[in-house]
């Protein structure tokens, strides 16, 4: 466990969360483009980090298709008459098929396509998942839900990494440099943050409702971040070369926010 590295990743997660939350505040009727540009920038970071970390066949093809799908998803989220996830789902399916076909073109990549289907799907679905934030900002109470859920997720990821810097105990696995204390503390502090925000927001928010949706988003984010560590350890144990260090350490927070976004949408539709 390298303390400086854990603190640096915590700082990146905090900056990412602040950027997304503040970006959501710029979104309003007829004024969605600034938030869409912010989301697109985060999507490009996601594509860069995850393609370099997962290294699917035809890496440049997958990265290019994923970036194009990200742009189209943002445009669809902004331009559709009725805010919904159906256009994003179609784009995710089409982007996945296009990426797989792009890998089948060259024989040297064709051999590894079956093994890389999961990685390709994660990359394409991940960039589309960020687009759900734009859709969420178009529905009533959506911007407030983004504020609560992404604040909880950002705090959870930051606290989890900072705790790993000082108390990486008990180790969840010898090969994974993470401690259970950080995961639990991150989820708890993230939930507390959402409850505090809920006490200041107007109806339909209450501290209890905000705590519930914040808990789901925070747990989703920290577990996604943790899963990235297990995946990297699995690749190293399988004898694969280590990934680019910048991409490897950006991958966790970006993956956490990518899954927290649809979780925020789902909780908003269910509870608000």
Across 95-109, 133-147, 238-252, the highest mean pLDDT is recorded for 133-147
Q: Which residue from 132, 74, 65 is spatially nearest to 101, judged by alpha carbons? A: 65
Q: Which residue from 256, 150, 147, 244 is spatially nearest to 198, judged by alpha carbons? A: 147
Mean pLDDT of 246-264: 94
Residue 156 · residue 218 · CB < 8 Å: yes
Check residue 28 and give its pLDDT: 81
* Overall residue count recorded for the chain in this entry: 272
Residue 160 · residue 182 · CB < 8 Å: yes
Residue 217 · residue 263 · CB < 8 Å: yes
pLDDT above 90 for 124: yes
Check residue 43 and give its pLDDT: 98
Distance, CA of 12 to CA of 30 (rounded, Å): 31
> Per residue in 53-68, pLDDT tens?
888 888 899 999 999 9
Is the pTM of the predicted complex or chain greater than 0.75? yes
Range from 68-82, 125-139, 234-248 carrying the lowest mean pLDDT: 234-248
Beta 171-173 vs 176-179: how paired, if at all? antiparallel
| Alpha helices (H) along 105-206 | 107-110, 117-137, 142-166, 180-198
* Peptide bond between residue 120 and the one before it cis (omega within 30 degrees of 0): no
Check residue 108 and give its pLDDT: 62
Check residue 174 and give its pLDDT: 86
pLDDT above 80 for 126: yes
Residue 266 · residue 136 · CB < 8 Å: no
pLDDT above 70 for 104: yes
Helices and strands (H and E) in the chain: how many: 10, 2
For 197-236, letters b (16+ CB in 10 Å) and e give: bbeebeeebebebbbbbbbbbbbbbbbbbbebbebbbebe
How far lies 145's CA from each of 90, 142, 159, 197, 213, in Å? Answer: 25, 5, 21, 10, 8
pLDDT above 80 for 109: no
Across 96-105, 231-240, 255-264, the highest mean pLDDT is recorded for 255-264
Check residue 223 and give its pLDDT: 97
As a whole-number percent, the residues of the chain with pLDDT over 90 amount to 69
Three-class SS of residue 75? Answer: helix
Distance, CA of 164 to CA of 145 (rounded, Å): 28
């Amino acid at each position: 466990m390298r303390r400086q590295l854990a603190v640096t990743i915590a700082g990146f997660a905090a900056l990412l969360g602040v950027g997304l939350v503040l970006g959501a505040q710029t979104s309003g009727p007829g004024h969605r483009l600034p938030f869409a540009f912010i989301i697109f920038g985060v999507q490009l970071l996601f594509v860069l980090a995850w393609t370099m970390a997962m290294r699917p066949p035809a890496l440049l093809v997958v990265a290019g298709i994923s970036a194009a799908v990200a742009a189209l998803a943002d445009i669809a989220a902004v331009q559709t008459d009725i805010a919904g996830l159906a256009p994003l789902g179609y784009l995710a399916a089409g982007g996945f098929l296009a990426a797989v076909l792009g890998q089948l073109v060259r024989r040297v990549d064709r051999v590894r396509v079956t093994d890389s289907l999961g990685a390709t799907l994660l990359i394409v679905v991940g960039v589309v998942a960020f687009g759900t934030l734009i859709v969420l900002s178009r529905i009533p109470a959506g911007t407030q839900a983004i504020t609560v859920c992404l604040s909880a997720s950002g705090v959870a990821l930051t606290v989890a990494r900072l705790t790993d810097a000082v108390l990486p105990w008990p180790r969840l696995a010898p090969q994974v440099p993470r401690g259970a204390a950080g995961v639990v503390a991150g989820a708890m502090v993230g939930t507390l943050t959402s409850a505090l925000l809920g006490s200041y927001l107007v109806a339909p928010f209450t501290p209890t409702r905000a705590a519930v949706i914040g808990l789901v988003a925070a747990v989703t984010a920290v577990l996604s971040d943790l899963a990235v560590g297990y995946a990297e350890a699995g690749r190293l144990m399988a004898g694969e070369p280590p990934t680019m260090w910048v991409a490897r350490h950006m991958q966790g927070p970006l993956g956490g926010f990518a899954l927290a976004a649809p979780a925020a949408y789902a909780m908003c539709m269910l509870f608000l």
